[in-house]
Amino acid sequence: MRVGLVCPYTWDVPGGVQQHVGDLAEALMELGHEVSVLAPCDSDTELPAHIVSAGRAVPVPYNGSVARLAFGLRAANRVRRWIREGAFDVLHVHEPAAPSLSLLACWVADGPIVATCHTSNPRSRAMAASAGMLKTALEKVNGSIAVSEAARKTLVEHLGGDAVLIPNGVWVRRYADAEPLPGWPGPGGAIGFLGRMDEPRKGLAVLLEAFNDLGRRRPGLRLLLAGPGDADEARARVAPDLRDRVTVLGRVSEADKARVYHSVDVFCAPNLGGESFGIVLTEAMASGAAVLASDIPAFRHVLRDGAAGELFTVADAGSLARRAAALLDDPARRQELSRAARRAVRAYDWPAVAADVVRVYQTVLPAGVGGLVGAGTDR
Amino acid sequence: MTEVLAVVCTLLVVLAVSFYLSWRASRLDRLHTRLETAQAALDAALARRGAVVGELAASGVLGPAAGVLLSDAAARARRAEDRAEREVAESNLSRVLRAVLAEAGDLAADGDLLAEVHAAARHVHIARRFYNDTVTAVHTARSSRLVGVLHLAGHARLPAYFEMDDEPPGLPDPHWPDPEGGNDR
């Protein structure tokens, strides 16, 4: 099958949607499909053969912040040319409601179109204000995918459509085996965190508060924090005598990420909510970490109601500390959780997820006829 | 002079209105095509599920009793005549399939055939959701007064949702082989 993927956001800037599109492309190619990805690109860096640049994206204020988007007629022409040259069996646009390449692709293309919605935003003013226009463009979409129940709800509420649920994938084999960082987890035990340290919704503050209690009771227990943010600010939340037991790595590479998960006895995801899908959680599960996560619906679902990882009351440092202490004292339970996590995460392995996406493609292709995606100029 | 201007203006307005109307009509036409494709995909998905379930029943991997249940449900779904009867029969097939596979657990041996059954059930779920989504889009488009007054939809009947229980059977853990070998649950 020839598949055309459209990513609305600048390829050279890291982001969840870009990562998803790149991984999906790789997984589809592994399954034997031909894939071309169209995305805005800022720099002239060498791109892999299957990534096609749609030119520079322009920073514009949108939906309360400045987003880098490609939206003009020149971008529309590039989309049109890419569609004509690609001769795709199916066009798969991501985040179709973003006023960028994906929306333009819906506008110019004719033929089988699939859309994936990533956003979960209960009150998107931008989407509400332009719902009429979006509906017209999205009328051409034959089938929609939502990466989480929250994303699906957003779609239903704002645009009145419906979507099938296909979760975000994770490359299980890239996380399954990794060398722990030197000296970790250490004899006193270690708890890990990965995510933006300065983003309150990631809940690092809850973990640090719990550590003030845990660290006193357990001499030798250490905390390993990875992710962008101010290290001193994070340390300042911990009692002065415990600060040297908090190691802050800052932003880590993909390879080091896997090592972080393997370096701790308990991996903690203290998110306060608003997380449409816990990528970090599936990565930790693929690494076989014993996971301790806050009891938000998305995490509860991924952790199979607590069978593949412990859950604690959201934003409750006391609950976190109690559960963490119990886990640190019980290596057998950690082993059990690790095994259950490795098993549960196979549902999120990219090859399995991509196979489900292919089922969606098969559903929108007119039976029997190889319907090519066209880009007429009449509309 | 003013008369000429009036005529030109009128012509322009007529031209703009007719362009707009033809655009609306072509949108509606495209939606109806999308609906036909979605309906065909749903029919194909249901037929395929019926065939694969029939094969599973005949293979005997789940034992004779489960085989009889499955082939009975599949046959009823195949013979259902009107829409309402079909919705009930296909829902029953979903329920029987879930019950039989849950009961079999990890004892069922033929992995390939089972994977095919799971895929076929998932196809039904996807196809029905896309079909109903398209029905919603058609309803929205045709609820416009303009479409109603000018008969832009022609004689096409207002499509109905396909209501059924399409929940696929749960994937048992053994569906993915255990990396450490053995099932330690």
pLDDT tens digits, A70-87: 888 888 889 999 999 989
Interface contact A131, partner B, CB < 8 A:
no
Q: Which residues of A touch B40 (CB under 8 A)?
A: 366-367
pLDDT band of residue A110 (cuts 50, 70, 90) is confident
Q: Which residues of B touch A343 (CB under 8 A)?
A: 173, 176, 178
- pLDDT (mean) for A42-51: 81
- pLDDT (mean) for A310-326: 91
Answer yes or no: is pLDDT of B180 > 50.
Answer: no
Among A82, A138, A86, A108, which residue's Cα sits nearest to residue A376? A108
* pLDDT at position B21: 84
Whether residue A185 has a cis bond before it, omega within 30° of 0: yes
From its phi and psi, is residue A95 left (phi > 0), alpha (psi between -120 and 50) or beta?
left
* pLDDT at position A339: 93
Answer yes or no: is pLDDT of A366 > 80.
Answer: no
- Whether B133 sits inside 8 A of A163 (CB atoms) is yes
Cβ atoms of B177 and A346 within 8 Å: the answer is: no
- Whether A359 sits inside 8 A of B171 (CB atoms) is no
pLDDT tens track for B36-53: 999 999 999 999 999 999
* pLDDT at position A370: 55
Cβ atoms of A315 and A309 within 8 Å: the answer is: no
- pLDDT (mean) for A161-190: 90
pLDDT band of residue B175 (cuts 50, 70, 90) is very low
Query: What is the rounded distance in angstroms from the CA atom of residue A28 to the CA atom of residue A1?
Result: 9
Q: Which residues of A touch B122 (CB under 8 A)?
A: 356, 359
Answer yes or no: is pLDDT of B173 > 90.
Answer: no
Average pLDDT, chain A: 86
- Whether B41 sits inside 8 A of A364 (CB atoms) is yes
Which residue has 């988007």 as its token pair? A69
Q: Which residues of B touch A363 (CB under 8 A)?
A: 41, 45, 123, 126-127, 130
| End-to-end alpha carbon distance in chain A | 27
- Whether A339 sits inside 8 A of B184 (CB atoms) is yes
* pLDDT at position A345: 92
Residue type present at position A202: K
Cβ atoms of B61 and B109 within 8 Å: the answer is: yes
Strand A113-117 to A2-6 pairing: unpaired
Identify the CATH homologous superfamily for domain A2-169+350-364: Glycogen Phosphorylase B; (3.40.50.2000)
Domain ranges of chain B: 45-172
By Cβ distance, the residue of B37, B125, B132 closest to A142 is B37
pLDDT band of residue A195 (cuts 50, 70, 90) is confident
- pLDDT (mean) for A44-70: 81
* pLDDT at position A72: 82
- Whether A363 sits inside 8 A of B132 (CB atoms) is no
Residues 6+ away with beta carbon under 8 Å from B177: none
Answer yes or no: is pLDDT of B3 > 90.
Answer: no
pLDDT tens track for A131-155: 677 777 788 899 999 988 888 888 8
Q: Which residues of B touch A164 (CB under 8 A)?
A: 125-126, 129-130
Tell me how many residue pairs between chain A and chain B have CB atoms under 8 A apart: 67
Interface contact B153, partner A, CB < 8 A:
no
Question: Encoding tokens for residue A297?
Answer: 């619906």
Q: What share of chain A is helix, strand, coil (3-state, %, to 5)?
A: 45, 20, 35
By Cβ distance, the residue of A142, A356, A366 closest to B130 is A142
Sequence ranges of chain A with CATH classification 3.40.50.2000: 2-169+350-364, 173-346
Interface contact B44, partner A, CB < 8 A:
yes
* pLDDT at position B115: 87
Largest CA distance in chain B: 93
Cβ atoms of A103 and A96 within 8 Å: the answer is: yes
Q: How large is the ipTM?
A: 0.83
Q: Which residues of B touch A339 (CB under 8 A)?
A: 180, 184
What class has domain A173-346? alpha beta
> Of A292-296, A366-370, B140-144, which gets the smallest average pLDDT?
A366-370
Cβ atoms of A291 and A341 within 8 Å: the answer is: yes
pLDDT band of residue A126 (cuts 50, 70, 90) is low
* pLDDT at position A69: 83
Largest CA distance in chain A: 72
- Whether B129 sits inside 8 A of A163 (CB atoms) is yes
Shortest alpha-carbon distance between residue A271 and chain B (Å): 28
By Cβ distance, the residue of A160, A164, A347 closest to B129 is A164
A50 C-beta neighbours (distance < 10 Å), count: 15
pLDDT band of residue B102 (cuts 50, 70, 90) is confident
* pLDDT at position A293: 93
DSSP B155-173: TPPPP-------PPPP--G
Among A97, A99, A103, A79, which residue's Cα sits nearest to residue A163? A97
Helix B83-104 vs helix B2-59: angle between axes, to the nearest 10 degrees?
40
- pLDDT (mean) for A188-205: 87
Determine the residue among B24, B133, B183, B185 to mutate to test chain A binding: the one whose Cβ has the most chain A Cβ atoms within 10 Å.
B133
pLDDT band of residue A269 (cuts 50, 70, 90) is very high
Burial of A34 (0-12, 13-18, 19+ CB in 10 A): middle
